[in-house]
Structure 1
Amino acid sequence: MEYYNMSTRRVSYDVLDICLKDILSTIKPSSDDERKRMHAISELETCIRSIVILKGAAVKPFGSFVSNLYTRWGDLDISIELPDSSQTPLSRKGKQHVLRNIMRALQRTGVAHSLQFIPLARVPLLICKSTYDGISCDISVNNRAGRVKSKILHWISDIDTRFRDMVLLTKEWAKAQDINDPKSGTLNSYSLCLLVIFHFQTCEPPILPPLKKIYEGNAVDDIRGFEYITERHIADICAANIRRYKSQYPIQRNRSSLSELLMSFFDKFSQIGTLSLEYAISTYTGGWQRINRNPVLLGQLPSIMIEDPFERPENAARSVGFLGKISDAFRDAYHKLSSRSMLSNRNALLALLTRPSISTQLNARAPERSTPKQINHQHYRHTGTANRFKNSEQIHERFRSALRLEQQGPSSSTAGYREERRKSRVNNYRGQGYEIGYCGVAFADDL
């Protein structure tokens, strides 16, 4: 198929550039948002310890929080890891029993409220909201597949910083267009991440490699199979392949701006309704695959096939039932952004790309902006440290210490080095996961 080449189209995206920066500054989590999630994890861990049958269980965050692909309002995905779970897989009924006990403990202690138990989901799930911080939590049991998936997503985000920004912008746009709700027959967040990866693979020149060059094989099958492969081994393979890819970047790198990438993203998938009749989207190979040439894909006949690169031939978009609505949203976004009058209208751009609550907030802030320097300052500004609960710093440091890599840099007393070490610990936390959990994206919304 013919792929979109951004070099063939040059348009002034000045207003759109500013809008995207403003949107990101609003939806990206602050240090306080991270602390709230840390505190919610700590409270849940304390609650789990009170359950006798779960003695020795570990609480491991995963999903977009650990992959660093979450927004300020993102849910917190938690996997309760039982002792010896890799040797003795737990049945569906066993997982349901564990979740029922957790639900009773949360009710008894008052740690969480608005509890919803979903035993018949593809992955049995307990949904709740932390009482103190108001963080929505999706709790599952022994979700090793999800942890592996998101470990690799985290590494992909390290290849090019534009990937994370594109995922956040795409998720906000999809929510604004009401096409990011698998329970309503539209796309889940994992599928949206895969669409962004596919777009980055098929740009000219490409930004990301086919995912088989990061891990060749089925990662999920490998951690479940008889010839058991540890998560650490998968991590080592992926890390080596990513280092190799980054060292071999083409001389002519893709330097497209976020505005250009977003425009070409909408263009590429504006005909997704028609293309999905003949093609599957494969991030594993980094290209479109004809369905009629693949007997496995041909037997599924879904509305749209977005192959799960880590669990082939599973369809990450199996819940989609309203492809027309999704296709219309892509086509509408592309046509609107093709209009020069639209590209110069800040209010119209915000209405297209964000939910009303976000666009209202950004429009109220608009008069404060006068110079590019001021814009950049606000884009990178954090909301600061909150003092909403006791010992937040101790909780924060406790989890960071638990997740720190053994490798340490040379000792130094300079403030600059301490700041680099702080940033390194954050990245190590997300990269290694809780207790070296390869925390992942078996997204809880993928029911």
Structure 2
Amino acid sequence: MGAYRALDFVINDILTAVKPQQQDWVIRFHIIDELRKVIESVESLRGATVEPFGSFVSNLFTRQGDLDISVQLPNGSYISAAGKKRKQALLGDLLIALREKGVWRRLQFIAHARVPILKIESKDTSISCDISIDNLHGYIKSKFLFWISEIDGRFRDMVLLVKEWAKCHDINNPKTGSFNSFALSLLVIFHFQTCAPAILPPLRDIYPHSAIDDLQGVRADAERQIAETCAANIARFKSSISRPNRSSLSELFVSFFAKFSGLNLKAPELGICPYTGQWEEIRNNMRWMPQTYALFIEDPFEQPENTARAVSSRQLKRISEAFEVTHHWLTSYSHNQTTILAALVRPHEVQFLTQTPVRNGSYKGGRLGLMPWNQRALKSPSQMQHQHQRTRNNHQGPAQSFAHSSAVTKPHHQPSNDSIPQTSTQQHHPSKPQQMWRPRSS
């Protein structure tokens, strides 16, 4: 584990930079309240409630992460979903009201998407919001990710690291043919399922069929049945662990990139199936045939939907190269903390990390002891890929480069309330299941 010690410090500081603090939660609650006031003023949305979902509910959002909002239409206690045309009309009404309010900018109505969405941004906070109608499916999937994150605290940290890395390499945008954040979370789940020993079980062991199919009838009853089933199965899995995986977060991070390097070569024949926890042959899976996607990552909660359906063949090659070059950068003897940081986070995060002082004396000139921002010549991910193509055949040796970096003293981390609701961040001290936050009805 000593070989990954320096990477541990880099990762810890990245997490410090991207994990939400209490103020980030306050800001998002304020946005939710502001949206609720606007929706109450729209006649066609009378009686509707505002419910967040996505990374805010799963507790997997970063400080700059956007906010997913579902406007739930009144239908008594029963589950129902409006048709696409009605959703488009209602979002159109909401768009008019938001424009009149004057506190939102960059309003964009994506009416003909698979799920119609209204995208807005708060002028005060620059937080983006995606608003949809009756998106109970998104809400329940978010709760599943929250429950899974309570199995092992390393899962949340890995998702946050992978999201930031994907943004750094510009592969976290389905509009341009790359991953959405849900697919990235499923990749982390799959990695934790296929480690030795496994950290997470096949998701069929948590919920034995497609959860979306069970969202019928009385909503409270359906949600309670799903939650109780998951809680019982998660407790059973945790009690049955005889040989826990004790890999450090750094080791799991490096092996994540190793596992998905060459993804474009596997994708024509193999699909990623978190439901079974295995690579599955596409030709043997009748639910996936005919296979017309560049990459298949099955949605374990809504089978056989493909969460990577937006990934294009061209972008898949770029994605595979990003995995490969990052793995090379993390395991090469020739790279230091400066170049590693540039391969993992976006420039503005690099600036924060290198300019924010820490109390530990082993760090000099910044959080990571790096050169000042204006003195460094950091390479972009694309430049790294070009350099990697030229040099990868010349680099041999074990994946232990961080063992040769200069020794640093581990900083003393103080407890902080960086997440609300509180979730487990220690492998051996999981928190008790907590009630998920639900907005008040109005």
Shorter-chain TM range is: 0.7 to 0.9
| 132-141 or 359-368, which deviates more | 359-368
In the TM superposition, 1:45-60 aligns within 5 A as 45-60=36-51
- Aligned residue among 309, 331, 334 for 1:338: 331
Q: Structure 1: how far apart are the matches of 2:13 and 2:67?
A: 24
Shift of residue 381 of structure 1? 4.8
- Aligned residue among 342, 350, 365 for 2:356: 365
Shift of residue 108 of structure 1? 1.6
1:184 aligned residue: 176
2:112 aligned residue: 120
- Quickly say closer, same or farther: Cα 1:226–1:76, change in 2 above 3 A: closer
| 83-92 or 189-198, which deviates more | 83-92
Q: Output one character per residue of 1:264-305: Cα deviation in whole Å (capped at 9) or x when no partner.
A: 100111121111121110000001101111123231231111
- Quickly say closer, same or farther: Cα 1:301–1:206, change in 2 above 3 A: same
Q: Structure 2: how far apart are the matches of 1:170 and 1:340?
A: 23
- Quickly say closer, same or farther: Cα 1:234–1:103, change in 2 above 3 A: same
Q: Which has the higher contact order (CA 8 A, sep 6+)?
A: 1
Q: Structure 1: how far apart are the matches of 2:219 and 2:147?
A: 25
2:403 aligned residue: none
Q: Structure 2: how far apart are the matches of 1:60 and 1:311?
A: 20
Aligned residues: 384
| Contact 2:104-2:123 at 8 Å conserved across structures | yes
TM-score for the superposition, normalised by structure 2: 0.82
1:283 aligned residue: 274
Asked if 1:257 is matched to 2:248, the reply is: yes
- Quickly say closer, same or farther: Cα 1:383–1:149, change in 2 above 3 A: closer
- Aligned residue among 60, 63, 76 for 1:72: 63
- Alpha-carbon RMSD across the aligned residues, in angstroms, is 2.5
SS at match of 1:377: coil
| Contact 1:347-1:363 at 8 Å conserved across structures | no
In the TM superposition, 1:212-361 aligns within 5 A as 212-224=204-216, 230-250=222-242, 252-321=243-312, 322-342=315-335, 345-361=336-352
Shift of residue 224 of structure 1? 4.9
| Contact 1:79-1:143 at 8 Å conserved across structures | yes
One-letter code aligned to 1:23: I
Q: Which segments of 5 or more consecutive residues in structure 2 lack a partner in the other structure? A: 363-407, 422-430
- Quickly say closer, same or farther: Cα 1:35–1:25, change in 2 above 3 A: same
SS at match of 1:166: helix
In the TM superposition, 1:94-243 aligns within 5 A as 94-224=86-216, 230-243=222-235
Q: Output one character per residue of 1:168-197: Cα deviation in whole Å (capped at 9) or x when no partner.
A: 000111111111111110111111000000
Q: Output one character per residue of 1:387-420: Cα deviation in whole Å (capped at 9) or x when no partner.
A: xxxxxxxxx9xxx9xxxxxxxxxxxxxxxxxxxx
Q: Structure 2: how far apart are the matches of 1:312 and 1:24?
A: 32
Task: Determine which structure has the larger helix proportion and give its number.
Answer: 1
| Contact 1:222-1:228 at 8 Å conserved across structures | no
2:411 aligned residue: 375
1:390 aligned residue: none
| 227-236 or 82-91, which deviates more | 227-236
| Contact 2:79-2:216 at 8 Å conserved across structures | no
Q: Output one character per residue of 1:127-184: Cα deviation in whole Å (capped at 9) or x when no partner.
A: 1112333321110000011011111100000000000000000011111111111111
TM-score for the superposition, normalised by structure 1: 0.81
Shift of residue 354 of structure 1? 0.6
Q: Structure 2: how far apart are the matches of 1:257 and 1:135?
A: 33
Q: Which segments of 5 or more consecutive residues in structure 1 lack a partner in the other structure? A: 1-9, 385-395, 401-422, 437-447
- Quickly say closer, same or farther: Cα 1:228–1:68, change in 2 above 3 A: closer
Q: Structure 2: how far apart are the matches of 1:163 and 1:106?
A: 37
1:26 aligned residue: 17
| Contact 2:28-2:67 at 8 Å conserved across structures | yes
Q: Structure 2: how far apart are the matches of 1:314 and 1:93?
A: 22
Q: Structure 2: how far apart are the matches of 1:26 and 1:227?
A: 38
One-letter code aligned to 2:116: P
Q: Structure 2: how far apart are the matches of 1:230 and 1:349?
A: 46
Q: Structure 1: how far apart are the matches of 2:189 and 2:74?
A: 35
Shift of residue 19 of structure 1? 0.2
| Contact 1:223-1:229 at 8 Å conserved across structures | no
Percent identity of paired positions between Structure 1 and Structure 2: 48
SS at match of 2:356: helix
